[in-house]
């Protein structure tokens, strides 16, 4: 089984467009949307839920007003200013509560409950390209890395149960906690970048991260023709660092048109832009095979 993670240094580089196209082009795979803070693969793949579950992580304080005597000790002791009082009633702001449990410990009335924090939901869904594992964190919730690990584990289980030999993951942008979790156990990272100075800088950060985890990295330069000089610099950089350039894709309004219609670019324009994406995908799979063999 091979696992490919599509990354980008920042959002909006075309990462999800390419992931959806790769999903269309590949056989016998599981799809996994690991961008749990802002998932959008579902916009193209129109999934139908098969299995769903709630995601809990950590704990949060909740005051039981029927037991609270209004002494104010919890508010005074909370260093995160998560507890406030309105007209004599004390309550916890869940967005500020860090789950340190101090208020639970010091409440003389035993009025502070400490339930698990409900952070989001995850699903296994059917799509026209095959099963997809995906999730959504609720606004302001943390532990996205833990949710990413859960999704990857479920994707691997499903692949084993269904005899599928490829997992294609749409990773989160940047180099934060969910991205680090998404790299664990992968065989190849593919960074989608645009030819701008910030795109080159972001690519360097992704390259350092992959190098740290000894994960092979390939690069696809999207909209290469908006700045040919910068594209050349990115490709030089890749050559110096031993990073494979797996494709160049031009700027093309057909990408937006496909998205508006809820289609992958390879469905919408198979002989134009879709053909270039197909060539890039061939290079991605060659590199994934090569890295697995190595
Ligand atoms: S410490 Fe307990 S009893 Fe006192 S205000 Fe807080 S919740 Fe209420
Ligand atoms: S658990 Fe900690 S952070 Fe949350 S309300 Fe209690 S004291 Fe404040």
Hey, what domains does the chain have and what are their CATH numbers?
A: 2-56+120-293 (3.40.50.300), 61-114 (3.30.70.20)
Q: Hunting for tokens 């037991």 — which residue is that?
A: 67
% of the chain exceeding 90 in pLDDT: 81
- The ligand whose atoms approach the alpha carbon of 60 most closely is 2
The best mutation among 73, 103, 105, 117 to test binding of ligand 2, ranked by most ligand atoms within 8 Å of the C-beta, falls on 103
Q: Ligand 2: distance of its center to the CA of 57 in Å?
A: 15
| pLDDT, tens digit, 9 for 90 and up, residues 103-149 | 999 999 999 999 999 999 999 999 999 999 999 888 877 778 899 99
Mean pLDDT of 37-59: 92
Q: Is the CB of residue 107 below 6 angstroms from any atom belonging to ligand 2?
A: no
Which residues form ligand 1's pocket by a CB distance below 6 Å?
63, 68-74, 90, 107, 109, 111-112
Residue 221 pLDDT > 90 = yes
% of the chain exceeding 70 in pLDDT: 99
For atom 8 of ligand 2, the residue with the nearest CA is: 78
For atom 2 of ligand 2, the residue with the nearest CA is: 100
Residue 294 confidence (pLDDT):
61
**Which ligand 2 atom minimizes the distance to the CA of 102?**
7
Residue 233 confidence (pLDDT):
95
Q: Ligand 2: distance of its center to the CA of 95 in Å?
A: 11
Q: Ligand 2: distance of its center to the CA of 55 in Å?
A: 21
Find, among 64, 73, 129, the residue nearest to 106 by Cα: 73
Q: Ligand 1: distance of its center to the CA of 35 in Å?
A: 39
**Which ligand 1 atom minimizes the distance to the CA of 112?**
7
What integer best gives the mean pLDDT of the chain? Answer: 93
Residue 293 confidence (pLDDT):
58
Q: Ligand 2: distance of its center to the CA of 179 in Å?
A: 29
Q: Is the CB of residue 99 below 6 angstroms from any atom belonging to ligand 2?
A: yes
Q: Is the CB of residue 63 below 6 angstroms from any atom belonging to ligand 2?
A: no
**Which ligand 1 atom minimizes the distance to the CA of 72?**
5
Mean pLDDT of 240-253: 94
Q: How far apart are CA 102 and CA 74, in angstroms?
A: 8
Is the pLDDT higher at 153 or at 39? 153
Is the pLDDT higher at 61 or at 182? 61
φ, ψ at 226 (rounded to 5°): -80, -15
């Amino acid at each position: 089984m091979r696992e490919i993670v599509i990354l980008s240094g920042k959002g909006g580089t075309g990462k999800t467009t390419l992931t959806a196209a790769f999903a269309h082009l590949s056989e016998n795979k599981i799809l996994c949307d690991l961008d749990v803070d802002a998932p959008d693969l579902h916009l193209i793949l129109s999934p139908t839920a098969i299995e769903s579950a709630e995601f809990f992580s950590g704990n949060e304080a909740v005051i039981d007003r029927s037991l609270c005597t209004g002494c104010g000790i919890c508010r005074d002791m909370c260093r995160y200013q998560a507890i406030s009082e309105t007209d004599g009633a004390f309550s916890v702001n869940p967005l500020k509560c860090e789950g340190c449990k101090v208020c639970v410990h010091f409440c003389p009335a035993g009025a502070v409950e400490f339930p698990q924090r409900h952070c989001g939901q995850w699903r296994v869904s059917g799509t026209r390209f095959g099963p997809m594992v995906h999730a959504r964190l609720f606004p302001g919730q943390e532990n996205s890395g833990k949710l990413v690990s859960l999704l990857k584990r479920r994707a691997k289980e499903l692949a084993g149960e269904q005899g599928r030999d490829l997992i294609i993951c749409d990773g989160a942008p940047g180099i934060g906690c969910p991205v680090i979790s998404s790299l664990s156990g992968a065989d190849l990272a593919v960074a989608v970048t645009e030819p701008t100075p910030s795109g080159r800088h972001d690519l360097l950060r992704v390259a350092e991260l992959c190098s740290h985890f000894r994960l092979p990295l390939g690069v696809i330069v999207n909209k290469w023709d908006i700045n040919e000089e910068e594209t050349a610099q990115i490709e030089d950089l890749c050559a110096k660092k031993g990073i494979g350039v797996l494709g160049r894709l031009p700027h093309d309004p057909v990408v937006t048109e496909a998205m508006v219609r809820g289609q992958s670019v390879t469905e919408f324009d198979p002989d134009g832009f879709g053909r270039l994406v197909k060539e890039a995908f061939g290079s991605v799979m060659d590199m994934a095979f090569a890295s697995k063999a190595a």
